[in-house]
Structure 1
């Protein structure tokens, strides 16, 4: 039985990677021609083959080539992570005008809950600006292929004090790159339905807010981390060591915890930890208070 599961996992990944190592231009493609999602294809498989694949399928030349380099992830500020793909594509999450040191991103994603998660005046030099909210009638829907990266989204709602403020005003963005599935939940306000989970798919790296009040509660966000069981959990949106410590205390019974002093790490499929691990990075530009882009929430 286990051999059959492993064989299925191997065949799925090898087939998909053969289709994804060729750089794609942009996402004006039809559903019939666009790159398939590896993360959705892997979602129904047991967790263990993901770790097994990291060390056991290197005999496929195309797979080795696609995994030659790592994805570099830097915690820039507040809810903004800066990602750089092996081909040098730069992405920034919850972009409010600053994305850390380095050149302008190729892709920025934004959410609508507060002014520190978006900007109305993104630099015109940014080729792709993905808003996590729609036009009030149609939810945001993104499936963007740039170089070796696929970016897609799953919308959630914005609440305040338990009252619905904006349906589909927030997006969970999923970045598929170098064989990894990286998810950023934005300013998440509510638990996810089975439909949300199915639409997101498999995640290897999960970026979650741990303020414990303005977004999902500490218990709620900890339960979400346990539900996905991503290999790496990256906390964000923490305003003090107090909320971060509350999250660490809650999750430490289920996940290893690695608190680092630097802002950046490199991740590849082969380097994923063998058990789920919370990695705390230090924001390069501080926690995000008072930098002039609206509410610091």
Structure 2
């Protein structure tokens, strides 16, 4: 009997030891996860796994950015340059006229016309993401590069002849530093419920406000209200009167208007405006 009791006690101590090891391992891996790059989760259900270092890989953090910050610079038309804490640089609507000074790590393009895509992209771009399929059909992206996730949602577009081109545009979503940033591209129609569900909660949106070749103001304001971002950064306002018209409509609908003094801004979740804001930057070139 005493031998049986001793065996039971030993088994109990063994289980307690395993429980203790489990707690230590859980704490250890939780600390690693919390120390990792702050990938945002825009969608209600979205995969945003922790991406461990590969053998020999070293994390390089931009000394000018905190781990929760993203830098945004307006180059021109609909081209922005985003930079993440790990130094991943992204150029939106990369083309042969408006380009960042250095080749970006990631370049996104759209199929509207020549100021939204490049015929001669820099060969040093590591990830060139077309927003449309040049051979027809869908073109889906969902990639992780360093501390950023990039995915897209395709929408239809109008050609110069007025006819609809199916899946000719992409909304690109950038998830980094606990922020979700969306570039609407050359959007030509209101978003569907499925589009909004896939888009998820967006913090900052780049929106074309030309009121001519993309969405008219009535439709655009409906789209922005449906997305409900904290910050709207206008783009594509090359037509005379487009910017004042948008500012007037946004003011009517309760947006705070901020005129930036420079062509760049650093954003973080802690500094997002408490009230819905239109943040206007003038293009700064390369």
Using structure 2 for the length normalisation, give the TM-score: 0.76
Shift of 1:199: 1.1
CA RMSD of superposed structures (Å): 2.6
1:91 aligns with 2:90: yes
Report SS of the residue matched to 1:151: strand
Aligned to 2:261: 261
**Greater C-alpha Rg:** 2
Name 2:36's counterpart in structure 1. Answer: 21
* Cα deviations by residue, 1:39-98 (Å, 9 ceiling, x for unpaired): 00279xxxxxxxxxxxxxxxxxxxxxx963410000101000110001110001001035
> Would the alpha carbon gap of residues 211 and 150 (structure 1) be closer, same or farther in structure 2, given more than 3 Å must change?
same
Contact 1:209/1:238 (<8 A) preserved: yes
Mapped partners of 1:22, 1:85: distance in 2: 10
Equivalence for 1:39? 42
The answer to whether structure 1 residue 235 and structure 2 residue 217 are counterparts is no
Q: Does 1:179 align with 2:178?
A: yes
Which structure 1 residue ranges, 5 or more long, are not aligned? Answer: 1-14, 24-34, 44-65, 287-297
**Aligned partners of 1:82 and 1:99 also within 8 Å:** no
Question: How far apart, in 2, do the equivalents of 1:67 and 1:88 lie?
Answer: 11
Match of 1:245, SS state, is helix
Structure 2 residue runs of 5 or longer lacking an equivalent are 1-29, 47-64
183 and 152 in structure 1: CA distance in 2 versus 1, 3 angstrom threshold = same
Counterpart secondary structure, 1:250: helix
- Which residue of the partner structure matches residue 75 of structure 1? 74
Q: Aligned partners of 2:66 and 2:200: how far apart in 1?
A: 21
Aligned to 1:270: 270
Q: Cα gap change, 1:203/1:125 in structure 2, threshold over 3 Å: closer, same or farther?
A: same
- For the 8 Å contact 1:78–1:238, the answer to whether it is kept is yes
For the 8 Å contact 1:142–1:152, the answer to whether it is kept is yes
- Name the count of aligned residue pairs: 237
| Cα distance change on mapping 1:19 and 1:144 into 2, 3 Å | farther
Structure with larger RCO (C-alpha < 8 A, sep 6+): 1
Match of 1:133, SS? coil
TM-score (ref. length: structure 1): 0.74
Could you say which residue in structure 2 is the equivalent of 1:30? none
